[in-house]
């Protein structure tokens, strides 16, 4: 028998979308906010010689800076006001979540509800300012030492240039953080993820053109080009399949009596996603991997040990791949433990009278959920590592544009799926409201 929710989902059409005025406002707000973000990636910081910087960046774009530029939507190669993008905010979020596990004061704030979360968010913003200021000052200092065939990158180096650069880049990061929060609250989807995805998708047309041009020049053979396209489709299919995969635990509810009537016990499922952490581990891993070498990538006069680290962490290098995999696996388990707490889940089941067949409520249920969650998280972490790293190895071998990497595909597909799911939820809610209004009108007509 088809449920009411399934019937509504089947009836979703453009007519329903046309009547959902609130949803259309949210979509238009999201598109307008992303347009503002894209415009900001074309506004350069003051005091830069654009031609000289473009030449200096081109010599380093094949390394780790190319990946930073991908996440920043091309803002790095133009040294725009959004060059730091939203990565300092992500790094601050990582640090705050790690500190909540070891600092009792922050852990207590986490348990205080809405007020505690607001306080933690405020601490995250303060930390974002500190990290962004540190990175911006390093970039400003590194830019002053850059030269190209067209002359120095910085027109008038000095303390004034450093201060204005720090103020501009920190202001751009804080604006993007605010913009992401506004998209989440007043738009559709997660604002932070959409900003990152918008930067990746914006470079997709030029990446496709560049890939075809490489093939035309003979750098990439036609068989390899076809193999790359097949690989992309296979990666997208794997992402869609795994992101929808669930491990469902049967939950039963006992019989209950209300008055003189006895109601039969119900049965439902506790869905555990195979990849409960979503796209967060690759984003977090990339953010931490890029943080210590953001400054070093622009500086040519740094210490020798720093240059050795930058070279070892170059794209496709063994140390880069190993570190990337380790960080992805760590954040897959870490973020899953934050999203799904087995003890809280077991307590909620016992609170509402539910239980897992053959398992005692309480501690035993929590242990079993933790056991199942650990096993599926292992599979999810392996999936994330494979999707993000295997294409990276091929990219390093074939010199394919960055946008065809597994990380970029994972972010683009996952964020798109989440956004579409939210749009469907809004449409379902709108149709439910329409059915309720019709039922009320029918009841009023019958009374008349």
Q: Along the 448 residues of the chain, how does pLDDT read in single tens digits? A: 344 444 444 444 555 666 677 888 888 999 999 999 999 999 888 888 888 888 777 766 555 566 667 777 778 888 889 988 888 888 888 788 878 877 888 878 877 777 888 888 899 999 999 999 988 888 888 788 777 777 888 888 888 989 999 999 999 999 999 999 999 989 888 888 899 888 888 877 777 787 788 778 777 778 877 887 887 888 888 888 888 888 888 888 776 656 566 556 677 788 888 888 888 888 778 777 766 565 555 555 556 666 676 667 666 677 888 888 999 999 899 888 877 888 888 888 888 777 888 888 888 888 888 899 999 999 999 999 888 887 777 666 665 655 566 777 888 888 888 888 888 877 777 666 655 655 555 555 555 5
What is the pTM (predicted TM-score) of this model?
0.77
* Eight-class DSSP state of 352: T
- Strand pairing report for 261-263 and 256-258: antiparallel
Whether 220 is covered by a domain: the verdict is yes
Joined together, the tokens standing for residue 292 give: 């210590």
Whether 448 is covered by a domain: the verdict is no
Whole-angstrom distance, CA of residue 346 vs CA of residue 344: 5
Task: Specify the length of the chain in residues.
Answer: 448
Whole-angstrom distance, CA of residue 289 vs CA of residue 331: 13
Give 80-103 pLDDT, tens digit per residue: 899 888 888 888 887 888 788 778
Whether 52 is covered by a domain: the verdict is yes
CB 387 within 8 A of CB 409: yes
Whether 276 is covered by a domain: the verdict is yes
Whether 297 is covered by a domain: the verdict is yes
How many independent structural domains does the chain possess? 1
Angle (CA) 100 102 106, round 5°: 35
**125 burial via Cβ count (<10 Å: 0-12, 13-18, 19+):** middle
Q: At what angle do helices 280-290 and 87-102 cross, to 10 degrees?
A: 100
What domain range includes position 91?
Answer: 4-441
- What CATH number is associated with residue 416? 1.10.3370.10
Whole-angstrom distance, CA of residue 130 vs CA of residue 368: 42
pLDDT attached to residue 38: 92
Whether 446 is covered by a domain: the verdict is no
CA of 70: how far to CAs of 27, 99, 409, in Å? 25, 29, 12
Whether 447 is covered by a domain: the verdict is no
203 half-sphere exposure, CB direction, 13 A CA radius: 28
Helical spans, DSSP H, in 145-256: 159-186, 191-202, 204-216, 222-244
Whole-angstrom distance, CA of residue 129 vs CA of residue 132: 5
Whole-angstrom distance, CA of residue 328 vs CA of residue 74: 24
Whether 118 is covered by a domain: the verdict is yes
């Amino acid at each position: 028998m088809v449920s009411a929710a399934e019937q509504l989902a089947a009836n979703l059409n453009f007519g329903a979308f046309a009547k959902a005025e609130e949803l259309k406002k949210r979509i238009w707000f999201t598109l307008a906010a992303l347009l503002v973000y894209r415009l900001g990636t074309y506004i350069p910081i003051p005091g830069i010689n654009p031609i000289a910087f473009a030449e200096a960046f081109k010599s380093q774009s094949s390394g780790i800076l190319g990946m930073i530029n991908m996440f920043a939507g091309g803002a790095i190669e133009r040294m725009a006001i959004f060059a730091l993008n939203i990565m300092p905010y992500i790094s601050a979020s990582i640090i705050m979540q790690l500190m909540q596990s070891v600092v009792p004061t922050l852990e207590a704030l986490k348990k205080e509800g809405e007020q505690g979360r607001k306080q933690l968010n405020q601490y995250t913003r303060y930390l974002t300012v500190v990290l962004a200021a540190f990175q911006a000052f390093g970039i400003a200092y590194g830019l002053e030492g850059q030269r190209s065939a067209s002359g120095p990158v910085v027109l008038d180096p000095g303390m004034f240039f450093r201060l204005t650069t720090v103020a501009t880049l920190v202001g751009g990061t804080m604006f993007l953080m605010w913009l992401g929060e506004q998209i989440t609250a007043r738009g559709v989807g997660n604002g932070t993820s959409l900003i990152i995805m918008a930067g990746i998708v914006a470079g997709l047309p030029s990446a496709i053109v560049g890939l075809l041009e490489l093939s035309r020049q003979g750098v990439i053979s036609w068989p390899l080009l076809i193999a790359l396209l097949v690989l992309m489709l296979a990666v997208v299919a794997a992402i869609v399949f795994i992101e929808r995969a669930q491990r469902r635990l049967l939950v039963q509810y006992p019989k209950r009596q209300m008055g003189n009537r006895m109601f039969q016990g119900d049965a439902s499922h506790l869905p555990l996603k195979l990849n409960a952490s979503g796209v967060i581990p690759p984003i977090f891993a990339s953010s931490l991997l890029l943080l210590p070498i953001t400054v070093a990538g622009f500086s040519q006069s740094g210490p020798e040990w720093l240059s050795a680290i930058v070279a070892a962490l170059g794209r496709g290098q063994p140390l880069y791949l190993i570190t990337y995999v380790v960080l992805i696996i760590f954040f897959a388990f870490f973020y899953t433990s934050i999203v799904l707490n087995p003890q809280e889940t077991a307590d909620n089941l016992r609170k509402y009278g539910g239980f897992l067949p053959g398992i005692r409520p309480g501690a035993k249920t929590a242990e079993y959920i933790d056991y199942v969650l650990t096993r599926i998280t292992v599979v999810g972490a392996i999936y994330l590592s494979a999707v993000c790293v295997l294409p990276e190895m091929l990219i390093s071998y074939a010199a394919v544009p960055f946008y065809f990497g597994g990380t970029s595909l994972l972010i683009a597909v996952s964020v798109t799926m989440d956004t579409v799911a939210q749009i469907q939820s809004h449409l379902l809610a709108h149709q439910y409201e329409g059915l309720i209004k019709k039922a009320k009108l029918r009841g009023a007509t019958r009374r008349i």
